[in-house]
Structure 1
Amino acid sequence: MGKGPLEQKLQFEKKNQDLVKLPKYAKVEKRPIPHAPVASPYAGASVPKIVYVSSSTPFMSAVKRIQKLLLQAEKRATANINLEDTRKNEKQKLAELANISSKREEVFVKATGRAIEKALNVGKWFEEKETEYSVRVKTGSVIVVDDVVEDEEKKEQEEQKRQRQEGQQSNPPSSESKLAAKKRKRQAAAAVNPDAELPESRTRWVKMVEVAVSLK
């Protein structure tokens, strides 16, 4: 799956090195990416409010969750301000409101891999309402762990195939063309060492975006 138009505008640091080539009888099973527990909308300002977006997350569902978190943040921020307080003049009241605006809570929309474009589109939805919301985007990477699983039946078949190829190499047919011989040698050179012990897991980096949304 290629990059979407919004993702193409972003720059990501390339962190992955060449991964060890696995034999045909081994496959990679991806583990879910661990996330911090989702905070309650009513948690204090010191607790980060994060909305995780996957490729299957309904678009407007994510938008409404963000709006709910921002609404609760606004209620917390204005809870101690009483605009009807006659003991304060207009200048004092405006100063308190300005102080709130300078300390707006942000809601962080996070996504990796194929979900990046959806998170960016969510951010764009808020960005288009520029009189109400502020939006900023940060790119990064997260490390993930994949399990390496062997298929014993396929492993045995590959071993038998390897033994046949080794036999052909020691007794190549006289009619074999030079081109076919070169191709066979290239395949043998590129093959995974059958005696090497496979790792139980391996790590890799995946692209991540964080879209921060706040009220103005």
Structure 2
Amino acid sequence: MAPKTLISQNLQFEKKNKDMVKLPKYAQVSKRPIPHPPIATPYAGASVPKTVYVSSRTPFMSAVKRVKKFLVQAEKRATAQVDLSSSRKRDAQKLAQIARAGEKLRREERVVVKATGRAMERALAVGKWFEEKGAEEYVVSVSTGSVLVVDDVVEDEEAKRKVVEAAEKVAKGGLGEESKAALKKRKRAESALAVAEGEEELPETRTRWVNKVEVVVSLK
């Protein structure tokens, strides 16, 4: 999706999640951390992507300072070879140094702030800070997307035992004429019993799509 500015924009996300299989009451979903590459240090070279991952617990100003440090170090690396103090150098040489520094800076002038789910609001707040506080120094854009994550399905054996006992009682109680509600309840119990006893396989994992934002902060 094309980048947008942060001010007065309603972010849109593609709906990818389909109806998931309903889990029995004794099964819970355990969310795995979303994997990502090792986090680069501010002193890593230009070839290393500079990314700041934001969670819902990340302190706001801490994320802002991390982004600023990445950009400051990028500027220092780009200008390290520039020496304008020497009077012996011609203006053309000095301009060439500045041009090379600018080219280096353009290769690593961007920092990407990434967040998913509830943390997206915090990432957008970080971008808005740069957009408003540093309008003369920084350019900010945002794009949306989604990431596929894997969750584990965990069974609670004690809860499973109770479900089986309750389901057996209901399933065996279907004698004589039943009301529609009682019949529906008995069928649910029989289905739960079938899953609990292994007649229907319970998945070990479950996948889902999570919305994400990428806020790009770069030097002007």
TM-score normalized with structure 2 length: 0.82
Q: Distance in 2 between matches of 1:188 and 1:32?
A: 39
Q: Distance in 2 between matches of 1:8 and 1:154?
A: 46
Task: Find 1:155's aligned residue among 151, 160, 172.
Answer: 160
Q: Distance in 1 between matches of 2:71 and 2:127?
A: 14
**Cα offsets for 1:150-177 (capped at 9, x unmatched):** 111211221222222222333346xxxx
Which residue in 1 is equivalent to 2:180?
A: 182
| Stretch moving more, 68-77 or 8-17 | 8-17
Residues 202 and 71 of structure 1, relative CA distance in 2, 3 Å threshold: same
Which residue in 2 is equivalent to 1:36?
A: 37
Unmatched segments (≥5 aa) in structure 1: 174-180
Task: Find 2:150's aligned residue among 134, 145, 149.
Answer: 145
2:166 is matched by which residue type in structure 1?
Answer: K
Task: Find 2:175's aligned residue among 170, 183, 190.
Answer: 170
Which residue in 1 is equivalent to 2:68?
A: 67
Measured after TM superposition, the shift of residue 72 of structure 1 is 0.3
Task: Find 2:141's aligned residue among 136, 140, 143.
Answer: 136
Q: Partner of 2:174: helix, strand, or coil? A: helix
Unmatched segments (≥5 aa) in structure 2: 1-5
Q: Is the 8 A contact 1:6 1:117 kept in 2?
A: no
Q: Partner of 1:169: helix, strand, or coil? A: coil
**Cα offsets for 1:40-67 (capped at 9, x unmatched):** 1111111001111111111001101111
Residues 82 and 186 of structure 1, relative CA distance in 2, 3 Å threshold: farther
Which residue in 2 is equivalent to 1:177?
A: none
Q: Distance in 2 between matches of 1:49 and 1:204?
A: 27
Q: Partner of 1:82: helix, strand, or coil? A: coil
Higher relative contact order, structure no. (Cα contacts within 8 Å, ≥ 6 residues apart)? 1
TM-score normalized with structure 1 length: 0.83
Task: Find 1:197's aligned residue among 198, 201, 215.
Answer: 201
Number of aligned pairs? 205
| Stretch moving more, 151-160 or 187-196 | 187-196
Q: Is the 8 A contact 1:13 1:140 kept in 2?
A: yes
Q: Partner of 2:160: helix, strand, or coil? A: helix
Residues 186 and 80 of structure 1, relative CA distance in 2, 3 Å threshold: farther
Q: Give the share of equivalent positions with the same residue, in percent.
A: 57
Residues 7 and 144 of structure 1, relative CA distance in 2, 3 Å threshold: farther
Measured after TM superposition, the shift of residue 105 of structure 1 is 1.8
Q: Distance in 2 between matches of 1:21 and 1:209?
A: 29
Residues 7 and 200 of structure 1, relative CA distance in 2, 3 Å threshold: farther
Which residue in 1 is equivalent to 2:128?
A: 124
| Stretch moving more, 188-197 or 130-139 | 188-197
Which residue in 2 is equivalent to 1:22?
A: 23
| Stretch moving more, 104-113 or 57-66 | 104-113
2:69 is matched by which residue type in structure 1?
Answer: K
